[in-house]
Amino acid sequence: MKYVCIPCGYVYDPEVGDPDGGIAPGTAFEDIPEDWVCPVCGVSKDMFEPEE
């Protein structure tokens, strides 16, 4: 499942991960460290919600 950053619309795709942020492809959103932030706008993980 993909997750969307509410403030900026960035979509976290587990198949892609966030290589620049140290998140390997294949990493589920639930498994991302709590200190990870949106690579676009910098908000915390709790500002994301599942994509419909």
Query: Which residues does the annotation place in the binding site for Fe cation?
Result: 5, 8, 38, 41
d(C-alpha 44, C-alpha 12), whole Å: 13
Residues of each annotated binding site? 5, 8, 38, 41
d(C-alpha 19, C-alpha 12), whole Å: 11
CB 35, CB 7: distance < 8 Å: no
